[in-house]
Structure 1
């Protein structure tokens, strides 16, 4: 369990809760585990925070003013089915379950939330994604604890964007990592030109000892099954 908790330090979280006392307690607890913690008191602000910071995890209440949690997640899921989502719910919220069923919610935590139920829910929601090692080929693996790539047990020097690209490839391993997602997550608030992307991919391939990606013309890149 300690190793799994340590892994959370590589991730960021957005907490969306309208009751200030509850939100502050949640945020204070989350700060023990996560690299960065963002907060919002309604779905509208929560969606804006999601767009700005692209957190690894979203923890949200359901009933909130301005925009409720379901509406916020619906907006997010229009283009993003990968971000991990935990909904905080009460038994009285059962009428919302049908609305939530198609939104790929990773975990539910019942109110009142305490530190034990929060951590347990987070660990369950992350599931296998908290495994410490990602194997990209027989002799090449990425250690998420150290945030380093190894080939034949020797360190492969990489830039920060290379490492983020590897994690993004793995996150989208069952599909295609699109140009839009690459721009959104790696270039963030900057514009990504096609020439800049080609240069990055060329240099990335030069630094990686095994060719692990293939181009999907006009769409993006796909992780090879090695």
Structure 2
């Protein structure tokens, strides 16, 4: 199996499509290649699921009832400039898409979409995700070196464990947003079970290595990074 296909297996995709006869077969096909496919019947449900699930990639039809794909993408891009988005359109939608120029759509897919074209587009999404994962991240007066799993603060190097590094990177990628317990478990503990006690122990250890008050606890919701 090619490396990018292996990477795709670890990612979650939100798929918004109002026609069940299209959505269900496509979901079944995509589920073979991705870790999870989250289904939405329109842009309104898609937006709710985006806030709740924080997927790695978004695939959406343009024309849908209630709220369409363009509405959903515009709302997402207000707070998220990085998550790759693929939009499925018809040839007749060209004029309608003029307002989407600034929305950073990874690729427009014209109906009907073939599996080869879809997989090629998902490969582009993988490349975009990989290019965005820089080795270091500067924040709160510190440099976070994720490749070497260490914090550099005022010239002093502090080592992090794998879980501490994964947890901190997750919070920094979504800086200012609350990252849910479910997402932390999937991204940091991966296939392991995460107890709240284990998470609190990790946070307590990491807080000792960071500037004061950087990691915020949101009761019954999750954690965020505030600098």
TM-score with structure 1 length normalisation?
0.68
Question: Which residue does the alignment assign to 1:102?
Answer: 102
Distance apart, 1:34 and its partner CA:
1.3
CA distance in structure 2 between the aligned counterparts of 1:68 and 1:139, rounded to whole angstroms: 40
CA distance in structure 2 between the aligned counterparts of 1:55 and 1:113, rounded to whole angstroms: 21
Cα deviation, 1:61-120, whole Å, max 9, x if unaligned, reads 001111111011112222222222110112111012211112221221121111111110
Alignment of 1:36-185 (within 5 A): 36-130=36-130, 135-136=135-136, 141=147, 157-159=161-163, 163-169=166-172, 171=173, 177-178=175-176, 181=177, 183=178, 185=179
Cα deviation, 1:146-183, whole Å, max 9, x if unaligned, reads xxx69xxxxx7444x752432443x46xxxx22xx1x2
CA distance in structure 2 between the aligned counterparts of 1:201 and 1:134, rounded to whole angstroms: 23
CA distance in structure 1 between the aligned counterparts of 2:40 and 2:145, rounded to whole angstroms: 43
Distance apart, 1:126 and its partner CA:
3.1
CA RMSD of aligned residues (A): 3.7
Distance apart, 1:204 and its partner CA:
2.0
Distance apart, 1:135 and its partner CA:
3.3
CA distance in structure 1 between the aligned counterparts of 2:105 and 2:96, rounded to whole angstroms: 12
Contact 1:17 1:60 in 2 (8 A): yes
Question: Which residue does the alignment assign to 1:204?
Answer: 206
Cα deviation, 1:24-81, whole Å, max 9, x if unaligned, reads 2221121012111110111111112112211111100001111111011112222222
**Which SS does the other structure have where 1:59 is aligned?**
strand
CA distance in structure 2 between the aligned counterparts of 1:34 and 1:97, rounded to whole angstroms: 28
**Which SS does the other structure have where 2:38 is aligned?**
strand
Question: Which residue does the alignment assign to 2:139?
Answer: none
Contact 1:7 1:130 in 2 (8 A): no
**Which SS does the other structure have where 1:30 is aligned?**
helix
May I ask how many residue pairs the two structures share in their alignment? 190
Distance apart, 1:205 and its partner CA:
5.8
Structure 2 portions without partners, runs of 5+: 137-142, 151-159, 184-198, 217-223
CA distance in structure 1 between the aligned counterparts of 2:128 and 2:147, rounded to whole angstroms: 16
